[in-house]
Chains A and B, each alone.
Chain A
Amino acid sequence: EAAVTQSPRNKVTVTGGNVTLSCRQTNSHNYMYWYRQDTGHGLRLIHYSYGAGNLQIGDVPDGYKATRTTQEDFFLLLELASPSQTSLYFCASSDFRDWVEQYFGPGTRLTVL
Protein backbone atom coordinates (compact mmCIF):
# COMPACT_ATOMS: atom_id res chain seq x y z
CA GLU A 1 0.00 0.00 0.00
CA ALA A 2 1.17 3.50 -0.87
CA ALA A 3 2.88 5.38 1.93
CA VAL A 4 2.86 9.17 1.95
CA THR A 5 4.15 11.10 4.91
CA GLN A 6 4.00 14.81 5.67
CA SER A 7 5.82 17.07 8.07
CA PRO A 8 5.17 18.96 10.16
CA ARG A 9 1.68 17.80 11.09
CA ASN A 10 0.84 21.13 12.64
CA LYS A 11 2.40 24.53 12.08
CA VAL A 12 1.66 28.00 13.43
CA THR A 13 3.33 31.03 11.91
CA VAL A 14 2.78 34.77 11.70
CA THR A 15 1.80 36.92 8.75
CA GLY A 16 4.84 37.44 6.54
CA GLY A 17 6.62 34.37 7.80
CA ASN A 18 8.27 31.67 5.69
CA VAL A 19 6.92 28.14 5.81
CA THR A 20 8.03 24.93 4.15
CA LEU A 21 5.79 21.88 4.13
CA SER A 22 7.41 18.56 3.31
CA CYS A 23 6.05 15.44 1.68
CA ARG A 24 7.70 12.09 1.02
CA GLN A 25 6.32 9.03 -0.76
CA THR A 26 8.01 5.66 -0.74
CA ASN A 27 6.25 3.84 -3.56
CA SER A 28 8.13 5.14 -6.59
CA HIS A 29 5.07 6.95 -7.87
CA ASN A 30 5.63 9.33 -10.76
CA TYR A 31 3.24 12.05 -9.73
CA MET A 32 2.94 14.12 -6.58
CA TYR A 33 0.43 16.81 -5.65
CA TRP A 34 -0.25 19.53 -3.12
CA TYR A 35 -3.83 20.39 -2.16
CA ARG A 36 -5.47 22.67 0.32
CA GLN A 37 -8.79 21.77 1.93
CA ASP A 38 -11.21 24.41 3.13
CA THR A 39 -14.83 24.11 4.17
CA GLY A 40 -17.07 25.04 1.28
CA HIS A 41 -14.31 24.66 -1.29
CA GLY A 42 -13.29 21.04 -0.94
CA LEU A 43 -9.88 19.95 -2.16
CA ARG A 44 -8.13 22.44 -4.40
CA LEU A 45 -4.98 21.64 -6.35
CA ILE A 46 -2.08 24.00 -5.73
CA HIS A 47 0.84 22.44 -7.64
CA TYR A 48 1.78 19.04 -8.96
CA SER A 49 4.77 17.30 -10.47
CA TYR A 50 5.50 14.51 -12.92
CA GLY A 51 8.96 13.78 -11.54
CA ALA A 52 12.12 15.25 -10.08
CA GLY A 53 12.69 18.79 -11.32
CA ASN A 54 9.22 19.03 -12.90
CA LEU A 55 6.51 21.41 -11.72
CA GLN A 56 3.00 21.95 -13.01
CA ILE A 57 0.70 24.77 -11.99
CA GLY A 58 -2.52 23.79 -10.30
CA ASP A 59 -5.77 25.67 -9.85
CA VAL A 60 -4.88 27.89 -6.87
CA PRO A 61 -1.12 28.56 -7.17
CA ASP A 62 -0.98 32.20 -6.04
CA GLY A 63 1.23 32.67 -2.99
CA TYR A 64 2.75 29.20 -3.24
CA LYS A 65 5.92 27.77 -4.69
CA ALA A 66 6.79 24.10 -4.92
CA THR A 67 9.84 22.05 -5.66
CA ARG A 68 10.30 18.35 -6.42
CA THR A 69 13.84 17.49 -5.49
CA THR A 70 13.71 13.71 -5.95
CA GLN A 71 11.10 11.17 -6.99
CA GLU A 72 10.26 10.78 -3.32
CA ASP A 73 10.24 14.38 -2.05
CA PHE A 74 7.93 17.29 -2.84
CA PHE A 75 7.98 20.58 -0.94
CA LEU A 76 5.48 23.41 -0.68
CA LEU A 77 6.86 26.87 0.12
CA LEU A 78 4.97 29.85 1.46
CA GLU A 79 7.43 32.75 1.37
CA LEU A 80 5.20 35.48 2.75
CA ALA A 81 2.46 33.69 4.57
CA SER A 82 -0.94 35.37 4.88
CA PRO A 83 -3.97 34.52 7.05
CA SER A 84 -5.84 33.45 3.89
CA GLN A 85 -3.40 30.54 3.66
CA THR A 86 -4.61 29.10 6.95
CA SER A 87 -5.81 25.69 5.84
CA LEU A 88 -5.37 21.93 5.94
CA TYR A 89 -2.78 20.86 3.37
CA PHE A 90 -2.66 17.42 1.83
CA CYS A 91 0.06 15.87 -0.25
CA ALA A 92 -0.74 12.97 -2.55
CA SER A 93 1.04 10.69 -4.95
CA SER A 94 -0.12 8.57 -7.87
CA ASP A 95 1.00 6.50 -10.82
CA PHE A 96 -0.37 6.99 -14.34
CA ARG A 97 -0.65 3.22 -14.68
CA ASP A 98 -3.23 3.31 -11.87
CA TRP A 99 -5.45 5.94 -13.52
CA VAL A 100 -3.77 8.53 -11.32
CA GLU A 101 -5.64 7.28 -8.23
CA GLN A 102 -4.60 9.60 -5.41
CA TYR A 103 -2.85 8.27 -2.30
CA PHE A 104 -3.02 10.97 0.35
CA GLY A 105 -0.73 11.80 3.23
CA PRO A 106 -2.14 12.53 6.69
CA GLY A 107 -2.23 16.31 6.20
CA THR A 108 -0.59 19.38 7.70
CA ARG A 109 -2.69 21.92 9.54
CA LEU A 110 -1.25 25.40 8.98
CA THR A 111 -2.35 28.45 10.95
CA VAL A 112 -1.17 31.91 9.92
CA LEU A 113 -1.80 34.49 12.63
Chain B
Amino acid sequence: GDSVTQTEGLVTLTEGLPVMLNCTYQTAYSTFLFWYVQHLNEAPKLLLKSSTDNKRTEHQGFHATLHKSSSSFHLQKSSAQLSDSALYYCALTGGNYKPTFGKGTSLVVHP
Protein backbone atom coordinates (compact mmCIF):
# COMPACT_ATOMS: atom_id res chain seq x y z
CA GLY B 1 0.00 0.00 0.00
CA ASP B 2 0.84 3.67 0.04
CA SER B 3 3.27 5.05 2.61
CA VAL B 4 4.83 8.35 3.65
CA THR B 5 8.03 8.67 5.66
CA GLN B 6 8.99 11.95 7.29
CA THR B 7 11.82 13.25 9.43
CA GLU B 8 10.64 11.75 12.66
CA GLY B 9 10.10 13.32 16.00
CA LEU B 10 11.40 16.70 16.97
CA VAL B 11 13.47 19.22 15.02
CA THR B 12 14.83 22.14 17.02
CA LEU B 13 16.23 25.22 15.29
CA THR B 14 17.51 28.64 16.12
CA GLU B 15 15.57 31.53 14.59
CA GLY B 16 17.06 32.61 11.29
CA LEU B 17 18.52 29.24 10.35
CA PRO B 18 17.19 27.28 7.35
CA VAL B 19 14.46 24.69 7.70
CA MET B 20 14.42 21.35 5.92
CA LEU B 21 11.91 18.64 6.75
CA ASN B 22 12.25 15.45 4.77
CA CYS B 23 9.44 13.52 3.14
CA THR B 24 9.65 10.42 0.97
CA TYR B 25 6.77 8.35 -0.25
CA GLN B 26 5.68 5.16 -1.97
CA THR B 27 2.60 4.80 -4.13
CA ALA B 28 1.57 2.89 -7.20
CA TYR B 29 -0.96 5.56 -8.19
CA SER B 30 -1.06 9.13 -9.45
CA THR B 31 1.04 11.35 -7.26
CA PHE B 32 -0.53 14.19 -5.33
CA LEU B 33 1.66 15.36 -2.43
CA PHE B 34 0.79 17.75 0.38
CA TRP B 35 2.32 19.46 3.37
CA TYR B 36 -0.04 20.35 6.21
CA VAL B 37 0.82 22.49 9.23
CA GLN B 38 -0.81 22.24 12.63
CA HIS B 39 -0.22 24.93 15.22
CA LEU B 40 -0.85 24.24 18.89
CA ASN B 41 -4.53 23.65 19.69
CA GLU B 42 -5.54 24.09 16.07
CA ALA B 43 -6.58 21.78 13.25
CA PRO B 44 -4.16 20.85 10.47
CA LYS B 45 -4.38 23.07 7.42
CA LEU B 46 -2.84 22.97 3.97
CA LEU B 47 0.56 24.57 3.50
CA LEU B 48 1.64 23.31 0.06
CA LYS B 49 0.56 20.84 -2.58
CA SER B 50 1.96 19.54 -5.86
CA SER B 51 1.51 16.94 -8.52
CA THR B 52 4.01 18.27 -11.07
CA ASP B 53 7.41 16.65 -11.29
CA ASN B 54 10.42 18.92 -10.68
CA LYS B 55 8.32 22.06 -10.19
CA ARG B 56 8.93 24.23 -7.13
CA THR B 57 5.81 25.13 -5.14
CA GLU B 58 5.88 28.05 -2.69
CA HIS B 59 3.59 29.42 -0.01
CA GLN B 60 4.12 31.60 3.07
CA GLY B 61 7.89 31.48 2.69
CA PHE B 62 8.01 27.68 2.51
CA HIS B 63 8.79 25.76 -0.66
CA ALA B 64 8.94 22.17 -1.83
CA THR B 65 9.71 20.40 -5.09
CA LEU B 66 8.21 17.08 -6.04
CA HIS B 67 10.87 14.72 -7.38
CA LYS B 68 9.24 11.59 -8.70
CA SER B 69 12.59 9.99 -9.55
CA SER B 70 13.52 9.92 -5.87
CA SER B 71 9.94 9.87 -4.50
CA SER B 72 10.62 12.93 -2.39
CA PHE B 73 8.81 16.13 -1.42
CA HIS B 74 11.02 17.89 1.15
CA LEU B 75 9.80 21.08 2.83
CA GLN B 76 12.23 23.99 3.03
CA LYS B 77 12.42 27.55 4.22
CA SER B 78 15.44 29.81 4.04
CA SER B 79 15.07 31.41 7.47
CA ALA B 80 13.05 29.99 10.38
CA GLN B 81 10.77 32.24 12.40
CA LEU B 82 9.42 31.70 15.89
CA SER B 83 5.93 31.46 14.41
CA ASP B 84 6.98 28.44 12.34
CA SER B 85 6.95 26.31 15.47
CA ALA B 86 4.28 23.70 14.72
CA LEU B 87 3.61 20.10 13.74
CA TYR B 88 4.14 19.39 10.04
CA TYR B 89 2.60 16.51 8.12
CA CYS B 90 3.52 15.23 4.70
CA ALA B 91 0.67 13.40 2.95
CA LEU B 92 -0.27 11.90 -0.37
CA THR B 93 -3.47 10.97 -2.18
CA GLY B 94 -3.30 7.45 -3.48
CA GLY B 95 -5.64 4.93 -5.03
CA ASN B 96 -9.40 5.41 -4.51
CA TYR B 97 -8.61 8.97 -3.40
CA LYS B 98 -7.46 7.63 -0.04
CA PRO B 99 -5.13 9.96 1.87
CA THR B 100 -2.02 8.69 3.62
CA PHE B 101 -0.20 10.82 6.20
CA GLY B 102 3.28 10.58 7.61
CA LYS B 103 3.72 10.51 11.37
CA GLY B 104 4.46 14.21 11.56
CA THR B 105 7.51 16.31 12.44
CA SER B 106 7.39 18.72 15.33
CA LEU B 107 9.39 21.88 14.60
CA VAL B 108 10.45 24.09 17.48
CA VAL B 109 12.14 27.40 16.67
CA HIS B 110 13.84 29.19 19.55
CA PRO B 111 15.38 32.66 19.77
Binding site for B on A (CB under 8 A): 31, 33, 35, 40-45, 48, 50, 56, 58, 90, 94, 96, 99-102, 104-107
Segment at the A interface, from B64-72, B76-84, B93-101 = B93-101
B51 in the interface (beta carbon within 8 A): yes
Binding site for A on B (CB under 8 A): 32, 34, 36, 42-46, 49, 51, 89, 91, 93, 96-104
The reply to whether B43 and A56 form a contact with Cβ atoms under 8 Å apart is no
Given A33-B99, A96-B97, A99-B49, output 13 extra A-B contacts at Cβ < 8 Å.
A41-B103, A42-B89, A45-B98, A45-B99, A58-B98, A94-B97, A99-B32, A99-B51, A100-B99, A101-B46, A101-B49, A102-B36, A102-B91
16 A-B pairs within 8 Å (CB atoms) are namely A35-B101, A41-B103, A42-B89, A43-B89, A44-B101, A45-B100, A45-B101, A48-B98, A90-B44, A94-B99, A99-B49, A99-B51, A99-B93, A100-B93, A105-B43, A106-B43
A-B pairs, top 8 by smallest CB distance, nearest first, are A42-B103, A104-B43, A42-B104, A100-B93, A99-B32, A43-B101, A100-B97, A104-B44
Shortest Cβ gap from B2 to chain A (Å)? 10
Our pick among A40, A43, A44, A99 for the contact of B44 (Cβ within 8 Å) is: A43
Which of chain B's residues have a CB closer than 8 A to the CB of A33?
99
Shortest Cβ gap from B64 to chain A (Å)? 15
Which of chain B's residues have a CB closer than 8 A to the CB of A43?
44, 89, 101, 104
CA distance A33 to B45 in the complex (A): 15
Our pick among B42, B45, B101 for the contact of A42 (Cβ within 8 Å) is: B101
The chain B residue sitting closest to A107, CB to CB, is B43
CA distance A40 to B98 in the complex (A): 21
